[in-house]
């Protein structure tokens, strides 16, 4: 085990980590330790294309009196990922992320219970896995724009960017020649992803202007292009596969794929915050899930920002989430 400081980012090494698929590798879990002397403790998990330092943590609001451990999912380029691993990593599974994070908390940081785990999108899916793999570890879970099982619609949408990337001329070239980043592949990926991120209403109302873009084309150049700079194509695919496979019913084979059976076993208090216009982590799915969880509170974010409403992208939605989280934590048994 080693703990290598890299500015504020720490890395916890685990030797011969056993992946769910039976393989094993030496791995590292990258994390931040924010406000370490606070009385309460929170774990915040990164999302798809999420880096530690850009993960929204509510550290100035609802979680201001919490020590916050921010952890990076495998595949994000900070924790072990195809781009930085010396050995082959196992096939990606949220359960691996959770077990590695659990080991970081218990064996390295001496944390044996949490007040809250929170995650947006893939981070929310990982949070769901936590509540069932270590049912008494956290008292509260905050799951933002996410789901307990990736829907078929979501799986199919992800086939788009995946195929765009995997069939691109310079992705194939990269695999053969190990040359420069495959800019065409990344751009095709970004294009195939871009219209899903927000909502039809968001485009209608030209909300990219609120982000400082004069035109749709200018927004597209960043969102479906420049913003992928520094992202490794195989890390994107690794995480995308983890996302497609996301399914809490896999944790206990006795559940036989029955989501209501799995979710009925959640002991944490759960705050579910879907966005009403999210095109793939749909609010109706969160509402259905909330009815299967013993102590769940659904709070729909009324916003045209779609999926990224939950990412801290705009003040109005962020303030509302912060307030709802604070209220939830204050009133949770």
The minimum distance between CB 107 and its own copies, in angstroms, equals 40
**φ and ψ at 152, to 5 degrees?**
-60, -35
Rounded distance, CA 309 to CA 312, Å? Answer: 6
Q: Does residue 300 contact residue 274 with C-beta atoms inside 8 Å? A: yes
Q: Dihedrals φ, ψ of 149, to 5°? A: -140, 130
CB of 152 to its own copies, least distance (A): 4
Least distance (Å) between residue 219 CB and its own copies: 9
Characterize the bridge pairing of strands 269-273 and 296-298: parallel
**Smallest distance, its own copies to C-beta of residue 263, A:** 16
Q: Which is nearer to its own copies, 137 or 280 (CB)?
A: 280
In eight-state DSSP terms, residue 237 is H
2 or 200: CB nearest its own copies: 200
- Which lies closer to its own copies via its Cβ, residue 206 or residue 214? 206
* Identity of the residue, 106 or 244, whose beta carbon is nearer to its own copies in the bound complex: 244
CB neighbours of residue 295 within 10 Å = 15
Distances (CA, A) of 195 to 157, 200, 273, 308: 11, 8, 21, 12
Distance CA 254, CA 203 (A): 44
Indicate the residue among 153 and 291 with the shorter CB distance to its own copies.
Answer: 153
Q: How far is the CB of 285 from its own copies (least distance, A)?
A: 8
For binding to its own copies (CB under 8 A), which residues are involved?
A: 151-153, 155-157, 159-164, 166-170, 172, 184-185, 187-188, 191-195, 199-200, 202-204, 206, 216, 220, 224, 279-280, 282, 284-285
Two tokens at 303?
A: 């916003």
CB nearer its own copies, residue 139 or residue 191: 191
Contacts with 312 (C-beta within 8 Å, 6 or more apart), sequence order: 56, 318
The beta-carbon contacts of 247-252 under 8 Å, at least 24 apart in sequence, are 247/148, 247/149, 247/150, 248/128, 248/129, 248/132, 248/148, 248/149, 249/149, 250/95, 251/95, 251/129, 251/132, 251/133, 252/132
The burial of 234, by beta-carbon neighbours within 10 Å (0-12 exposed, 13-18 middle, 19 or more buried), is given as: middle
Nearer CB in complex with its own copies: 3/260 = 260
Decide whether 153 or 319 has the Cβ nearer to its own copies.
Answer: 153
Provide the minimum distance between the beta carbon of 262 and its own copies in the complex, in angstroms, as a whole number: 17
**Could you tell me if 100 and 267 are in contact, meaning their C-beta atoms sit under 8 angstroms apart?**
no
| Minimum CB distance to its own copies, residue 143 (Å) | 18
Smallest distance from its own copies to CB 125, Å = 17
């Amino acid at each position: 085990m080693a703990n290598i400081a890299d500015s504020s980012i720490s890395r916890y090494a685990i030797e011969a980590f056993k992946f769910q698929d039976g393989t094993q590798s030496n791995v590292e879990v990258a994390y931040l330790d924010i406000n370490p002397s606070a009385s309460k403790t929170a774990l915040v998990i990164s999302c798809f294309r999420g880096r530690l330092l850009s993960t929204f943590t509510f550290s100035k609001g609802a979680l201001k009196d919490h020590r916050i451990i921010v952890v990076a999912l495998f595949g994000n380029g900070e924790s072990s990922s195809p781009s930085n691993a010396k050995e082959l990593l196992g096939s990606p599974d949220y359960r691996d992320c959770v077990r590695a994070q659990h080991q970081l908390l218990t064996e390295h940081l001496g944390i044996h219970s949490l007040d809250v785990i929170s995650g947006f999108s893939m981070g929310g899916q990982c949070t769901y896995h936590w509540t069932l793999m270590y049912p008494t570890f956290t008292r509260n879970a905050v799951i933002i724009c996410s789901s307990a099982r990736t829907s078929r619609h979501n799986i199919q949408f992800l086939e788009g960017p995946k195929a765009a990337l995997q069939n691109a001329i310079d992705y194939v070239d990269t695999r053969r020649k190990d040359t420069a980043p495959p800019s065409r592949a990344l751009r095709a990926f970004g294009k195939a992803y871009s219209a899903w991120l927000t909502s039809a209403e968001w485009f209608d109302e030209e909300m990219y202007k609120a982000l400082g873009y004069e035109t749709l084309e200018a927004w597209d150049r960043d969102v479906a292009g420049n913003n992928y700079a520094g992202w490794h194509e195989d890390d994107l695919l690794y995480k995308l596969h983890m996302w497609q496979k996301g399914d809490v019913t896999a944790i206990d084979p006795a559940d036989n794929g029955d989501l209501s059976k799995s979710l009925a076993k959640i002991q944490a208090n759960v705050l579910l915050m879907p966005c009403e216009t999210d095109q793939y982590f749909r609010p109706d799915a969160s509402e259905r899930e909330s009815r299967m969880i013993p102590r769940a509170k659904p709070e729909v974010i009324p916003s045209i920002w779609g999926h990224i409403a939950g990412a801290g992208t705009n003040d109005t939605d962020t303030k509302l989430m912060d307030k709802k989280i604070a209220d939830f934590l204050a009133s949770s048994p």
